[in-house]
Amino acid sequence: MRWAVVLLTVVFTVALMTAGAGAQRRGGDPKLAARKNPVAANAASITAGRALYAKNCRHCHGLRGKGDGPLAPKDPKPADLTDAKWDHGSSDGEIFALIWNGAPAQKSEMKPMKGTLTEKNVWEIVNYLRSIGPAAAAAKPPAK
């Protein structure tokens, strides 16, 4: 019986350490920010990213990325992917890491996509998010 308690304690400790190592810091991470997107942001990758987003992300983040999807938890609410506020960094590398590793559990229910999507798929989603995000909105001419 005692060995079972020790084994359970060790397993729990290792699980906590692993989760902490994969979690991304709030406010961004310069090391992740330096990672460049290897997938060109062209029409094909944005279209592929849109389809992947629709299948894997829209349920919580919503069709337009506003955090208002039909399965969105109330607390904490999923991020609005179209605004200029990115809690975990706004570079392509930081966004990739957040999708790949998931968000820190105490602040979000976002699960990691590692094992569900390929790295290329995640980069395509990053390209799609860029097309709907604040940079895309700023590039549009003002309405008359």
pLDDT digits (tens, 9 = 90+) for 53-65: 999 999 999 999 9
Instruction: Please give the pLDDT value at position 108.
Output: 82
Residue 46 maps to a domain: yes
Q: Which one is predicted more confidently, 18 or 80?
A: 80
SS3 call for 131? helix
Q: Which one is predicted more confidently, 11 or 25?
A: 25
Residue 24 maps to a domain: no
CATH number at residue 122: 1.10.760.10
The domain of 89 spans 40-137
Residue 119 maps to a domain: yes
Q: Indicate the number of domains in the chain.
A: 1
Q: Report the range of poorest mean pLDDT among 12-21, 23-32, 125-134.
A: 12-21
Residue 3 maps to a domain: no
Quick check: pTM over 0.95? no
Residue 30 maps to a domain: no
Segment 13-22 long-range contacts (CB within 8 Å, at least 24 positions apart): 19/105, 22/101, 22/102, 22/112
Give the integer Cα–Cα distance in Å for 86 and 118: 23
Instruction: Please give the pLDDT value at position 104.
Output: 82
Residue 29 maps to a domain: no
pLDDT digit string, tens, across residues 1-23: 665 444 444 444 444 343 333 44
